[in-house]
Structure 1
């Protein structure tokens, strides 16, 4: 195992939470530190939503790379912003789905 495990930030629509969990599990079992969006199951304000979005960008800051989880559907505004942010920061961005079997 390397001196410091790789850190991966998972991005994607919260509609794919189950897929994100599956990708997180696979990466974790492979020895990767996984950062992903928090699952909030209560109503939140617009200010809280904005703050959570900024917090997720900080996750991207500390990650070595980003894995975007989706099912080949159109990316939402938040996910597009996260992809652009990661690329601007020089982070490798890959796309995955448990159904594809690729991470």
Structure 2
């Protein structure tokens, strides 16, 4: 038995919030430590006090790269093979740091 559970960083578009939550749940129930993006609703779905600014988006993107640093591997949640700009950047970062990467759907 390893000294600690495996750590997996989930990456994927916030448009797939349900799929991200399902992957988090499944991995957690399998005994994995999960680090995942903060998933926020689009601005049109909530009031002005909850809007994420461009500056906050940038900071959250940088924070997610640090989550990749903590992980043993990366799981990309990509229903239908979709990979957006932010997720592409995260994949490139994970590859550059030598993290193993798997995908929920073929790319």
Specify if TM > 0.5. yes
Structure 1 length-normalised TM: 0.89
What is the aligned counterpart of 2:51 among 35, 43, 58? 43
Once the two structures are superposed, residues 46-70 of structure 1 have per-residue CA deviations (whole angstroms, 9 ceiling, x without a partner) of 1110000000000000000000001
What is residue 45 of structure 2 aligned with on the other side?
none
Q: Specify the SS of the correspondent of 2:102.
A: strand
Q: Which has the higher helix share?
A: 2
User: How many Å separate the matches in 2 of 1:73 and 1:9?
Assistant: 18
User: How many Å separate the matches in 2 of 1:36 and 1:67?
Assistant: 10
Could you tell me which runs of 5 or more consecutive residues in structure 2 were left unpaired when the two chains were aligned.
42-49
Task: Say whether residues 1:64 and 2:72 are aligned partners.
Answer: yes
Cα-Cα RMSD: 1.5
User: How many Å separate the matches in 2 of 1:31 and 1:3?
Assistant: 13
Structure 2 length-normalised TM: 0.85
The structural deviation recorded for 1:73 is 3.6
Matches within 5 A, 1:1-103: 1-41=1-41, 42-96=50-104
Number of positions where the alignment pairs a residue of Structure 1 with one of Structure 2: 98
The structural deviation recorded for 1:45 is 1.1
